[in-house]
Amino acid sequence: MVLDQSVRFVEVATTNPNEKAQLERFRSAVRFRRLSVDLPDAVPPSEEIKHLRAALNQAVFSSSQKWMLPRWAVRRLEDKSSGTTSPRGIINDYRDDWFCIGGVGARYHAEADSSGLIDPRTGCGSFDVWFYKNNEVCFPALSLSSDSPRLSLESASDEILSYRDYFGPLEFTRLVYHVVEGSAEAVYNEISIKNVSLEPASFTFFAALRPLSLNGFEPVESLEYIRDEGTLYSNGIVALEVDKAPTALVMTSADNPNLPTELLSVLGSVAETDPILQGSKRARFDTSYSTPRCAGTAVLKYDLRLGPASTTTLFFISPLTRITKATRGRPFTKTSRCRDESVERWFDFSDSTLSASFPDSRLDAAVAQAKAVLAKKSLAMTTGDEDHGPMLTDRESARVLTALTRIGAHELAQQVGCTVASRLAPSSSTDLNEVLPLVWAVSQVYEYSRSTTYAQTIRSFGLKWSSTLKDESPLATSPTTAAPPKGPETSETEKAAVTAEKTTIEPRPAPTEEEAPWVAQLRRDMEAIATGVVVESATATEQTASPPESKPSIAPVPTLQNVTNHIVRMIVCESLAVLLDAVGERAQAEEMSQISRRLHDHLGDLSRQTITADRMRTLMATEEGQTEALRLLDVLTLPSRRYIDSSLVDVFVDAIKSTMLKRRFLKPPGSERYLPSYLGLRLAQLHTIRSDSDSAEQLLTRALEYLNASHTLPELVDPESTERGAGGGCCILASSDLLLLLVMMVLREEGSDLVVLPGLPEDWFMPTNPLAMERIPTRRGVVTVEVGTSANQHQIDIQMEYLPQELEVHVPTTRAMSMVKVYGGSVVSRVQSATAPHIRLVPLSNNVVLTFHK
């Protein structure tokens, strides 16, 4: 349908006033341009915005001059083979370089492209910087050559982005970083112009607020500049704070083709008395502007005069929260001290978490940036906020929280865990299959941090969920004690007898399927196992005591979903038992332990019935079966331990590889061109648990081909070309799975044992550049593992805070097992294997070293 002034949209179905206001601006922009937009019925506001923005991108960008566009749109229009101009219009496919700007534990973050365009994600436009050069306005987005100045990381350890360029004797430096002041957060642009000559020099640049966002067009309906505050409002929201007034300010529409000319011809009142700057220019200083086109643009012009060997510094601040005139408090501090505090926070985070260096140098920066992405996005994307809502599902949040725990970011993991625990309460509408992985992740934060404060904080959380699992679990009774059937009320004597049993959890009536669907399904699974075990004896009894025509009922065959749900409940009960024991809830902890053990006892039969070659071929032939397989893959790799038989894991992996692996990326059901970058890393984690280092290395190496300039992986990749990506440019799930994989390749726990180097590629045992992973957290302390080379030998150095029961250390296949020497431990066995040779030993020292000749 054509949306014009006569068309009425449906009532906005949202309680978020910010989202409602943004949607109305998009509708206004579409009406004004009389665009044709095909909107689905009853579409939520966020989805409607996506459709309207796509139409606006196509209409506005395709008719715009190049200087009006962001860099990615310039590339899309030049690359007709990208396939992104239809049917959804010109969209950002994230194959360009995008950076995430945030802080440790930040609730908000911004995005920036390599040309310097910054989107603070507040719905009020983006910040950009233009230059005056060779008598014309220069736009960095149009400088597409590889040697052009770019916004890039100053250092992987301090998360400061920098942009440098030279204009004769002047050195222009722009530093971009995240700042926290109280509860407020902002992106700082600190711009310094240094005159390196002994003569005075002039310099002109422009700070622009543009109606653009990370995804394209962003409606800007009104603009207002308050001189006394040095504040620019966009759509009634603080979009920019400046510490120095501009010499001129031009407000106009973004599609004004004469804007570059107007910028060169205006002079602000601040500089009217300067004869060098004055010339034939006229004064202009706009303070307000509104447009029904919703394409408002504000350009602050700065004409600077620098003395010999002098430096001028200016601050441009973009708040990351929606601040209005009514809610505006104290302005942000505008000094370099803010940068020092930001750097200090990043150094503290780096020094307290896992650090690593690898023979493949690409991984050094990749690990540093993956940690940074988790630090910037984890709190916001797992807990959400009023404007964005929860941006990850509970299953995805569980993976992010697990990654935080495995890199030793305990303080941040506890902050996320406490926030999640406060909102994650069981209810009749709760889908336990979706929520329980996150319950496990919140609980296991304590196992790694051993923070009694954290345990006490989430004590009620643990009690609520343990009660839910105890009440609804069909295995909450002793294996030899059935739940009492519904019927006459149990006598007080019988109740007392049941209560007196110390080894049995109090039996409860079986809930109906209407009351708890997952309970009924799990009960059927357990009955299927029990029936399969006793079918022969039951049949034999019936043949002697019953008529010949009597036949036993055939139990339903369990599915992969049943196995997944079974494992999740088992590990949740196991983790809750540890948590509850730590806070003195001994009885509840014992109940959780009992349920976990019983689930573990049943798991073998359940998995053997489900994961067979024939069954897997049948299941993987359907989209539903493939979806179930991906969920089981998620659960099998989440705790990084073996819970089902290795032979069954082999069958499961072979089935996935034969049906879902495309050019070493996993292809989920329904996906076509673009595939998730992280699912292949997840499969590599399972290979590591199987000690199949070759397969893990192949998947890892393939994923690394898609690292961008910020050393991060995009959310989606095109397996046919390393030039394309899609989805989020700095994907938190890809960062999480990359970190989980690399940690598991070096070290994982198996009960009370440690498995060292189970997924290490063969070449990494004899590296040119040493491998070192320091401060690897485990449930009992930190471990450091180094693999290096000395004058005449290679060595594996393991340093531990505690002594595990045994160490399983994997060694290269190219060295004779008998030639590997062990110092600091007693060898239990040397296991020769074509793919995973290893030595089992009892550590006698906190430092165990293995050596083998070159």
Per-residue confidence at 791, pLDDT binned at 50, 70, 90?
confident
Q: Is the pLDDT of residue 15 over 60?
A: no
| CA separation for the pair 195, 172 (Å, rounded) | 9
Q: Is residue 178 helix, strand or coil?
A: strand
| CA separation for the pair 703, 707 (Å, rounded) | 8
**How would you label 355-378 residue by residue, b for 16+ Cβ within 10 Å and e otherwise?**
bbebbbeebbebbbbbbbbbbbbb
Average pLDDT rounded to a whole number, residues 114-138: 94
3-state secondary structure 527-553: HHHHHHHHHHHHHHHHHHHCCCCCCCC
Give percent of the chain with pLDDT exceeding 70: 83
| Highest mean pLDDT: which range of 546-555, 705-714, 769-778 | 769-778
Dihedral angle of Cα 658, 662, 668, 669, to the nearest 10 degrees: -70
Q: In the numeric block, which tokens belong to residue 266?
A: 């205006």
Is residue 218 left, alpha or beta, with left meaning phi > 0 and alpha meaning psi from -120 to 50? beta
pLDDT score at 383: 80
**How would you label 520-541 residue by residue, b for 16+ Cβ within 10 Å and e otherwise?**
bbbbbbbebbeebeeeeeeeee
Cβ neighbourhood burial of 418 (10 Å; 0-12, 13-18, 19+): middle
pLDDT score at 168: 95
First to last CA, the chain: 73
Query: In sequence order, which residues have a C-beta less than 8 Å from that of residue 764 and are 6 or more positions away?
Result: 358, 359, 771, 787
Average pLDDT rounded to a whole number, residues 367-388: 85
Q: Tabulate helix, strand, coil % of the chain (nearest 5).
A: 40, 25, 35
| CA separation for the pair 294, 448 (Å, rounded) | 51
Q: Is the pLDDT of residue 13 over 60?
A: no
> Are the C-beta atoms of residues 208 and 299 closer than 8 Å to each other?
yes
> Are the C-beta atoms of residues 407 and 777 closer than 8 Å to each other?
yes
Phi/psi for 709 (5° steps) reads -65, -25
Phi/psi for 40 (5° steps) reads -65, 160
Per-residue confidence at 585, pLDDT binned at 50, 70, 90?
very high
Angle at 457 between CA 454 and CA 459, to 5 degrees: 105
Per-residue confidence at 801, pLDDT binned at 50, 70, 90?
very high
Per-residue confidence at 273, pLDDT binned at 50, 70, 90?
very low
Domains defined along the chain, listed by start: 17-82 (no CATH), 98-345 (2.70.98), 753-853 (2.60.420.10)
Least confident stretch, 234-238, 348-352, 425-429, 462-466: 425-429
pLDDT score at 547: 52
Q: Is the pLDDT of residue 5 over 80?
A: no
Q: Which amino acid is at 723?
A: E
> Are the C-beta atoms of residues 267 and 283 closer than 8 Å to each other?
yes
Q: Is the pLDDT of residue 763 over 90?
A: yes
Per-residue confidence at 133, pLDDT binned at 50, 70, 90?
very high
In order of 117, 503, 516, 588, the CA distances from 576 in angstroms are 46, 19, 21, 9
Mean pLDDT (the chain) is 86
Full DSSP string of 111-154: EEETTS-EE-SSSS-EEEEEEEETTEEE-GGG--STTS---EEE
Q: Is the pLDDT of residue 281 over 70?
A: no
pLDDT score at 850: 97
pLDDT score at 511: 46
Per-residue confidence at 629, pLDDT binned at 50, 70, 90?
very high
> Are the C-beta atoms of residues 209 and 221 closer than 8 Å to each other?
no
Give 453-505 pLDDT, tens digit per residue.
Answer: 999 999 999 999 999 999 876 655 433 333 343 444 444 444 444 333 333 33
pLDDT score at 76: 79
| CA separation for the pair 665, 219 (Å, rounded) | 38
Full DSSP string of 205-243: EEEEEESEETTEE--B-EEEEETTTTEEEETTEEEEEES
Per-residue confidence at 509, pLDDT binned at 50, 70, 90?
very low
In order of 1, 2, 31, 43, 61, the CA distances from 39 in angstroms are 8, 10, 14, 7, 21
In order of 92, 255, 703, the CA distances from 675 in angstroms are 16, 36, 11
pLDDT score at 729: 72
pLDDT score at 553: 52
> Are the C-beta atoms of residues 496 and 621 closer than 8 Å to each other?
no
Q: Is the pLDDT of residue 426 over 60?
A: yes
pLDDT score at 88: 47
Nearest to 353 by CA among 372, 329, 325, 378: 372
Give 44-78 pLDDT, tens digit per residue.
Answer: 888 899 899 999 998 999 889 999 999 888 887 77
pLDDT score at 179: 97
CA-based max dimension of the chain: 116
Least confident stretch, 145-154, 215-224, 476-485: 476-485
The pTM of this model reads: 0.88
Query: In sequence order, which residues have a C-beta less than 8 Å from that of residue 369 and are 6 or more positions away?
Result: 156, 710, 711, 712, 730, 735
How far from the centroid of its chain's Cα atoms is residue 665's Cα?
A: 18
Average pLDDT rounded to a whole number, residues 722-750: 89
More confident position, 268 or 670? 670
Q: Is the pLDDT of residue 554 over 80?
A: no
Per-residue confidence at 81, pLDDT binned at 50, 70, 90?
very low
Least confident stretch, 39-43, 660-664, 691-695: 39-43
What's the DSSP call for residue 104?
A: T
